[in-house]
Amino acid sequence: MQNNFKLRIADCGLAVVTAFVILTTFCIARPASAMLTAKANHDHITIDFFYHGSTVSVRGEADPNTDLIIKITSPEGHQVLKQKGKVAGMLWMNVGQLKFENTPNFYELYSTKKLEDILSREEQDKYVIGYPALERHVEISPLANEQEKTRWFDEFVKFKENSNVYSASSGKITTTHTDNGRQQYFILTEWPYQAQPGDYLVTVYAVKDNKVVEQATSNVKVEQIGVVKSLAGLAKDAPAIYGFLSIGVALGAGFGVSMVFKKGGGSH
């Protein structure tokens, strides 16, 4: 009986110790994974007359035992593109249009290691990380079969990469381990001038054991300002005035130059 009582006390003690260990582990692990931070240095890009692209750096801190993936995207939407194909077996023509649903206009991906080495396919699909995951996420129509989907998605990526608005690479993120046992990361990206005005989302994923263990986000806003904004607004909101203005300036320039030549050269 006394032995049983001692055993129960021992059981209780073990349970308390176990609970303490679990709690301690949880408390220590929580702050460790919660260390992930992300900050884009240039979060408001303004487009003026002399804009020719910019640079955006993303930096932050992460758990030292994690790999990192940085994804920069614009909101998803649908895009319609002309599709070229062979007509009469030899002539390349536009043969129709393809609609790409759930696609961002801008998609850039950076990772510390090759994506397939650090993240499972399920996790890639869940967070739409990488071209293969994006292909499974995108809906393309009209298509005859699944092979067609791969072919036209590859063409879509080629088209976007050619416009500098899609890219995927590994090894460009630099990481350093600090004295206090943390990992600092940094990447400097060229922001292409082809990226249209709008809101962009920078998502940093901390990856461990083929899974995303934490994510942090930051925003980049690209906005037209000054005369560029006024002209773009006028073209959209007052097209008749814009049309007359364009024609008026062209007529004025044509006559103006004629006058200059008449006065200056006397060639006529």
Partner 1 sequence: MYLYLPVALTSINILIPVGLGLAVGLLSGLFGVGGGFLLTPLLIMFGIPSTVAAATDSNQIVAASTSGTYAHWKVGNVDFKMGLYLLVGGFVGGIIGVQAIKLLHAMGNADFVIKITYILMLGIVGVYMFIESLQSMRKKKNNTEEANEEKDSAIGRFLKSLPLQTRFEKSGITHSVFVPIVLGAFVGVLAAIMGVGGGFLMVPIMVYMLRMPMHVVVGTSLFQILFTCIEVTFLQAYTNHSVDFILAVLLLLGSTVGAQIGAAFGKKLKAEQLKILLATIVLAVTIKIVFEITLTPSLLLSQVGGH
Asked if 236 interacts with partner 1 (CB under 8 A), we say yes
Does position 78 bind partner 1 by CB under 8 A?
Answer: no
CA pair distance 68, 151, nearest whole angstrom: 29
Can you tell me the distance from the alpha carbon of 69 to that of 119, in angstroms, rounded to the nearest whole number?
A: 10
Q: How far is the CB of 59 from partner 1 (least distance, A)?
A: 27
Q: Is 98 in the site for partner 1 (CB under 8 A)?
A: yes
Q: Is the dihedral of CA 224, 229, 234, 235 positive or negative?
A: negative
Give the helix/strand (H/E) hosting 106: none
User: How does DSSP classify residue 267?
Assistant: -
Round to whole Å and give the CA distance between 61 and 268.
72
Which of residues 65 and 246 has its CB atom nearest to partner 1 in the complex? 246
Question: Does residue 47 interact with partner 1 by CB under 8 A?
Answer: yes
Looking at 30-38, 165-173, 203-211, 258-266, which segment touches partner 1 (CB under 8 A)?
Answer: 258-266
Among 5, 91, 144, 180, binds partner 1 (CB under 8 A): 91
Cross-strand partners of 107: 73, 166
Residues near partner 1 (CB under 8 A), total: 63
CB of 94 to partner 1, least distance (A): 4
What distance lies between CA 29 and its chain's CA centroid? 29
C-alpha angle 195/199/200, rounded to 5°?
70
Site of tokens 């090759």: 114
**Interaction of residue 83 with partner 1, rule CB under 8 A:** yes
For residue 58 the two structure tokens come to: 């993303």
Q: Which two tokens stand for residue 241?
A: 């005035």
Window of 6-14, 90-98, 179-187, 204-212 that interacts with partner 1 by CB under 8 A: 90-98
148 counts as binding partner 1 under rule CB under 8 A: no
Q: Cβ of residue 158: shortest distance to partner 1, in angstroms?
A: 6
Of 194, 217, 219, 223, which lies in the binding site for partner 1, with binding defined by CB under 8 A?
A: 194
Strand-pair category, 198-208 with 67-73: antiparallel
Which chain residues interact with partner 1 by CB under 8 A?
47-53, 80-85, 87, 90-98, 152, 155-156, 158-159, 162-163, 193-194, 196-197, 224, 228-229, 231-232, 235-236, 239-240, 242-247, 249-251, 253-258, 261-262, 265, 267-268
